[in-house]
């Protein structure tokens, strides 16, 4: 959880969207989600993690295909479309975190009640 919060803060601090850092955040959310699935009161953490994983996965996939297409066919008219889709996905994720979409992740304690 701490790593996820640190990555999120780094991502929010940057003046541009850091794709590799966002991929690390996605992987950290995945680990937190797996732990949260076994805890009581996990819904506060689980749903934001799933949403973040989904959005960050889309960003990662678009970035991958954009890089691949740029190398494979630098003159392709689809490059601009992929770039626009990537920009839009980043905007959606930034809106998600501005609305405190991952706030429960940083505020929840990972202790179980006995």
CB atoms closer than 10 angstroms to residue 97 = 17
What per-residue confidence (pLDDT) applies to 96?
85
Task: Using alpha carbons, select from 7, 12, 13, 91 the residue that is nearest to residue 49.
Answer: 7
Structure confidence at residue 29 as a pLDDT band (50, 70, 90) = confident
Mean predicted confidence (pLDDT) in 50-62:
92
- Which pLDDT does position 63 carry in this prediction? 95
pTM equals 0.78
Binning pLDDT at 50, 70 and 90, where does residue 18 land?
Answer: confident
What ranges make up the beta strands (E) of the chain?
Answer: none
């Amino acid at each position: 959880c701490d790593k996820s919060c640190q990555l999120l803060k780094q991502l929010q601090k940057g003046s541009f969207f850091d794709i590799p850092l966002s991929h690390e955040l996605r992987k950290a959310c995945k680990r937190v989600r797996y732990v949260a699935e076994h805890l009581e009161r996990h819904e506060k953490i689980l749903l934001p993690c799933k949403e973040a994983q989904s959005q960050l996965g889309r960003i990662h996939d678009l970035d991958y295909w954009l890089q691949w297409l740029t190398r494979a066919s630098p003159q392709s008219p689809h490059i601009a479309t992929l770039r626009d889709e990537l920009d839009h996905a980043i905007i959606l994720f930034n809106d998600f975190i501005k609305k405190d979409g991952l706030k429960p992740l940083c505020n929840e304690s990972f202790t179980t009640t006995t």
